[in-house]
Structure 1
Amino acid sequence: MFQPLGGGGQLTRSIFNGATGLSQFFPQWNKIDLCVLTVTILDKIQKMHDLGLLFGCINPASIYIAGTQDVYFVDTDSWQVEGYPALSHNQTFTPPELLRDNKTLLIYTMDQENYQIAVLAFMLMMPGKFPYTKGKNADERDSIIDMAFPFSVGGGMRRSRDAERPSGIWRIVWDHLPYQMCDGFYNTFHSNGKYAQPGYRLDTTKWIKMTKDFNDTLMTSNGAGSRSMFPRTFRRDGKRVFVRCKICGQEHPDYYFIHSIHVQQEKIDIWERGYRICLPCASDQSNMSFRCECCGRQFYYTNRTKVLHEIGKSDFDFKKQRWCKDCKKRTIKCGHCGQEVPIYQMREFEDRLRNLRTSVCGNCFKELIEKSKQEKEAWKNSVGRWVSCRSCGRSFSITNGEIEYFSRKGYNLPTRCPNCRKKRY
């Protein structure tokens, strides 16, 4: 039997490559085209299931897209047929319970296939976005096992604990999806979701219906924002208060702005001070910079850090930053105590009595300054020269302090002893 020749581009290189892949393969597509494509793929998968065939583990690289209704599945010899295990393995699409058991050779159930279909639908509707968020020191596998889903829906639902809140474009793309679809994704991927546990997952027909309903809404909607693959701002539902960002000029709901920052553990309300900076712009590079005195490189602040320094300078007497974070990590031995200290804390100490210069830490610098003052005072009071009085002939001393004073004033040194000077005047 001959199979038709496949065409188009891989799903991984086009849709799953986000804005870059879409601009390269399908630059004219909008969200309606994406809905049609999703229905086309899910319809084909449903026909597979009707024939008793399972992907086993979905490999998006084996799905080729030539058009919204022109899709090809290749590498079909890796599918799961009857009692024979699937030959492919893709961690991104593996259900959490299988990763916990650390199994490699698997025979997948229909329920586990349904989980993979949900991941596929999510990454199609959120082009290329992985459902879970990697927490601190976590990788993809850990985030799947923990089901760290960062998006939330409605007042009674919340994002997973320790999951980083999505920012920028993904939070906006999520906002434009219909409630029913968001509810399905949330309850599938969130650890406390009602479809999250094995045996409760939504099947392919449910995702097909949600996608068709979304497509019908987009076709009848007058708003062009939701039709865009990557809308520039949130839905205008008539309830949200929109404010214009002073940096990018884009209007966003007021909750999408930074309202406060912490300066020296004190919370400062920057919204009341007139700052209007949206969350994406807060992380962008500003026009304020400093040059590191240690390495000489120039560094630009983010807009958030710029505000912090502006308020810190006006309200907290902030000094201009002198060292970058990399140089603050570098250490060097103190020339006095021998301890390893950050290089930016080193001070140059000049011992004028001994004509020496030494790099020392801050604590040693204070100690040496105090010691230097004491030595200087002792030196000033010590005898610097013995002179014979030209009046009485007796020897008298002149201290170093007096020699220094007369030299600085441009005077000659005394030639008479203190007693003779008193008698003379």
Structure 2
Amino acid sequence: MFIDTNVFMDTDPRHKDHLKSLFERIAPQIESGGSPVVVPTKVIDELSKFAKKDPSTTPAAQAAAFEKAKNALTFLRSAEAHGLVRTSLGDIGNPYADDLFVHLFEVYSSTYAMFLLTNDVTLQLRINLMALQLNRSIAAGYLIPGGHVEVPSLETIARRASAKLRRLRQRQATPQARASDTLEIESLETTLEDLFQEVPLLASLDAGTSTGARPNPPSDDTGDGRSRRQPFSTTAKFAGPDEIITVTVVPSAGDDILVDSPQGIVQMQLATKLGEGGEGAVYSASDSHVIKIFDEHHITKHREAKIRLLSARNFDEPGICFPEAIVRNTYGEFVGYLMPRAQGSEFSKVIFQPRRLRRTFPDWTKADLVDVAISFLEKVSYLHSHNILLGDINPKNVLVDDEKNVTIIDADSWQVEGFPCPVGVEMYSPPEVIGKRFPEFLRTAEDERFAVATMLFMILITGLFPYARSGSDGDVSKLIREGNFALQFKDRSNKDQPAGKWKYMWSHVQVDVKSLFWNTFHRDGTRYSSRPTDAEWLKAFRNYRRFLRSSENFDPMSNDIYPTRFKAMSPATPLYECESCRCSMAGIWREETKTFSTPRLCVDCRPALVACQGCQRSMAPDKLSNGKCRNCSLPTCTDCGRRFRPQAPGIAVCGGCITSACRECGSRHKKASMKFGRCPTCHDKDVAARARRMELDRNRLCTRCGKPFITFGNVEWHLSNHKAVPTTHKMKSGVYPADCVPIPRSTTSASAHEGVAPDTKSSGCFVATAAFGTYDCPEVWVLRRWRDTVLLTSPAGRRFVASYYATSPHLVRLVGGRSWFTTPTRWLLRRFANQLNRSGLASTPYDDPPAAVHPIHTSSGGAYRQRTSTKGTH
């Protein structure tokens, strides 16, 4: 529940204690978890303003209201302390509490059920009409005895609002008129019109509230036997081809004519010619009327029939030049018609010409253009309500004066019943009509709505064609058929928006009106095939007029006809002036930093951009050197053709194309392709070697647990540093890892550990194996090759081998684990192995031949004894 200011300041004795009773009734519900009553900040401000006034200087009634304001503030502070009232809601900068209430109800009505307690009938009308339009759980009403509230019916509200409107209009013409009366009248007129659109039955409650958009009730008889103001038929069929009427003479200035007036046939003389067009000439008849005489090629049967139909209805609507009488020549032949004299200038000569518009109406604002659009819509709506289609809507047939009064002329081209409009302009024709011959078909209301929307757009944007685009060839028909509305709407934007400052004007258009335009003109719009009606446009433009005069319009430039910048993003947008020309500027929102940037100079004052001779990008002149930007001024690499920044003068190639020698193979390659000083091939080999060094040597099994335990890299390190290769998992601390579990002795035979040198303390080994700690290393491989390829090929060598096998196990068993033995022995054997390697014996991996080819001569008996050749057991 919201409470308005006037409820707290109500001095009517009949309403005494109503507000107190309300709070007593709802307090338990609020204290048990319900929502507190909302008294917006603006209401508190208004109460504070009235409470500060001196009652002694004001009438008694006002003094009582001011005293009520003081009491209300005291009460509200107490109620807020008890959690019954909330006063922290609302924008302090909003000048009108009424607009604040309407805004809050419109925004939050989809979330909350809301009620406004107010004695203002205007607010009751606006809120309850909103409830009807939005179908929301919102309402506005007043207090009744017992602390209850009542929502009046729409009929009751309409009657009270109509009576208030009449009182305001009467007071406006007196010295007691207030400055706020104009806004109040406009708000009531607009809201009542919207109510009558929603509930047509209420339109007959008070005809005095008519603003001109609603037609007067029809009357069947004028007293002279002629019908008036009856709508034309909507079911009439096409009247067929038109025919020219041959006349004896077409009168001109000074000639006599006959006018079929209601009082009878009147003979008069054509006066001065006022102007001439493509169909005929216009002559002065009096201060209030003119006569249009067609030329001989445009005196047709259709024109005569339409003018007879229109003049017979005796229409009399300000701003519409209805034909009032047929004009004949002295032979009694139809040649033209009498109509009211139009005041003002053609749209095409004033509104659609920006320079002339500034010169003719220098004080006009955007609100004035909106008023012109509303006046045009009211005239069009009146004609459509009588089933008259203008057909040829174009800026030459619509006039406007300095009081913003719009006049529609050229009635002889209107479409009435089965008689079509024979002319038209492609710019105002919908895509479904383009290409047809206008005299050969009847237009529809949907066709007319496109022309109306186009005219409204060009009034607001002062002559810009809705489908104008940068780079187009100007083919209007093609542009309309494409339906590509180029101006931006929300996230829909084209890169070919019209050049110039039109986009600034478009950005300041109120969002609801902008939405209607975009959805009407863009092929993807929701109203592209079902265009807005006159009533929809009237409602949108009246809201637009109210918006321009309310606090919702936070950007003051939105009321300029020709703004010089885009509309401010929000009320928080910084507004400032250009340091050079002092024009208005607005901060630019930067999404990446979540802040507004504020350039010092406007677009016009910034240095003119110049295209780079290389990349053709536009940039400031100080960013160019010899006509080129910094990037295009760089030299080109002679190898790859790319631009680069030389590290020293005279270098013709970029850093990626400079070659360098590989530190492994010495070949030269581009630096960009080298890694850690190596060419790709050597680098890949090095990577493979590193991976190999990280692998476990599965030929070396722990003599304790029988599992692989050492990597190839670790073995290489021990050998390169002349250290014995470990044979177990045993660590420097002398402790074995938890997963190194000893295996039973029965499984530790040589055949179970082939390729692994057994512990020298437990079994006999060769001296070389004991010295190097492994049976597989380059030095032992050389010695094994020397044994099999040299020693065993001669009797002396075989005897040496046999004696070695007989004595070495015992020697190793005794001293093989002593460093004083293994270190010098390893040094001597390495020197000997190197000599053998230089003599031609390879140091690559070597596998012993089968045992059958190893005849070992024993020292006893001179016989050969076969002995199994297994690693680590020789």
TM-score by length of 1: 0.58
Residues 132, 147 of structure 1: 8 Å contact kept = yes
Match of 2:427 among 77, 92, 95: 92
Q: Find the partner of 1:80 among 415, 436, 440.
A: 415
Q: Aligned pair 1:59/2:394, yes or no?
A: yes
Q: Identify the residue that residue 217 of structure 1 maps to in structure 2.
A: 547
C-alpha deviations, 1:248-296, integer Å up to 9, x for none? 665244379xxxxxxxxxxxxxxx9x997766667x857x89xxxxxxx
Matched residue of 1:3: which SS? strand
User: Would you say the 8 A contact 2:433–2:447 is kept in 1?
Assistant: no
The amino acid that maps onto 1:57 is D
What is the correspondence of 1:296-335 to structure 2 with a 5 Å cutoff? Answer: 304=619, 306=621, 309=624, 312-317=628-633
Higher strand share: 1
- What do residues 189-229 of structure 1 show as CA deviations (whole Å, max 9, x unaligned)? 111111112xx110111111111111111122465311111
Distance 1:302 1:48 in 2: 55
Distance 2:486 2:622 in 1: 28
Partner of 1:144: 480
Partner in structure 2 of residue 388 of structure 1: none
Tell me if 1:10 matches 2:361.
no
Alignment match, 2:493: 159
Q: Distance in 2 between matches of 1:40 and 1:232?
A: 27
The change in CA–CA distance for 1:307 and 1:50 in structure 2 (over 3 A counts) is farther
Distance, in Å, in 1 between the alignment partners of 2:525 and 2:480 is 14
**Runs of 5+ consecutive residues of structure 2 not aligned to the other structure:** 1-323, 325-337, 591-596, 636-874
- 2:161 equivalent in structure 1: none
* Counterpart contact for 1:37–1:68, Cα < 8 Å: no
Matched, 1:180 2:512: yes
Q: Is the CA contact 1:252–1:278 (under 8 Å) kept in the aligned structure 2? A: no
Deviation of residue 4 (structure 1)? 2.3
CA contact (8 A) 1:188 1:196 kept: yes
- Is the alpha carbon distance of 1:313 and 1:37 closer, same or farther for their aligned partners in structure 2, counting shifts above 3 Å? closer
1:358 alignment counterpart: none
Structure 1 match to 2:558: 226
Mark the CA change 1:134 to 1:226 in structure 2 (over 3 Å): closer, same or farther: closer
Give the structure 1 partner of residue 571 of structure 2.
238
CA distance in 1, matches of 2:348, 2:476: 17
Amino acid corresponding to residue 10 of structure 1 in structure 2: E
> Which of 207, 225, 242 is the matching residue for 2:537?
207
Cα distance, 1:10 vs structure 2: 0.5
Tell whether the 8 Å contact from 2:469 to 2:498 is kept in structure 1 after alignment. no
Match of 1:64, SS state, is strand
Comparing 201-210 with 136-145, greater Cα deviation is found at: 136-145
Question: CA distance change for structure 1 residues 114 and 13 in 2, over 3 Å: closer, same or farther?
Answer: same
Q: 1:245 to 1:30 in 2, by over 3 A?
A: closer
CA distance in 2 between partners of 1:180 and 1:74 (Å):
30
CA 1:302 to 1:244, structure 2 compared with 1: closer, same or farther past 3 Å? farther
Q: TM-score normalised to the size of structure 2?
A: 0.30
Q: d(CA) in 1 for partners of 2:526 and 2:426?
A: 23
In structure 1, what is the equivalent of residue 356 of structure 2?
21
Asked whether 1:128 is paired with 2:463, we answer yes
* 3-state SS of 1:225 partner: helix
CA distance in structure 2 between the aligned counterparts of 1:74 and 1:187, rounded to whole angstroms: 30
Aligned ranges 1:280-299 → 2 under 5 Å: 285=608
Q: Give the length in aligned residue pairs.
A: 282
Distance of 2:599 and 2:374 partners within structure 1 = 44
Q: Deviations over 1:116-141 (max 9, x none)?
A: 11111111111111111245453222
Partners of 2:362 and 2:577 lie apart in 1 by 28
Matched position secondary structure for 2:406: strand
Q: Distance in 2 between matches of 1:3 and 1:103?
A: 28
Distance 1:255 1:51 in 2: 50
Q: Between 240-249 and 3-12, report the one with greater CA deviation.
A: 240-249
Deviations 1:137-180 (A, max 9, x none): 5322211111121112223xx135xx612454211111111111
- Distance in 2 (CA, whole Å) between partners of 1:313 and 1:172 is 31
- Residues 230 and 111 (structure 1), Cα distance of their counterparts in 2 relative to 1, 3 Å cut: same
Q: Does 1:42 align with 2:42?
A: no
Letter in 1 for 2:546: D
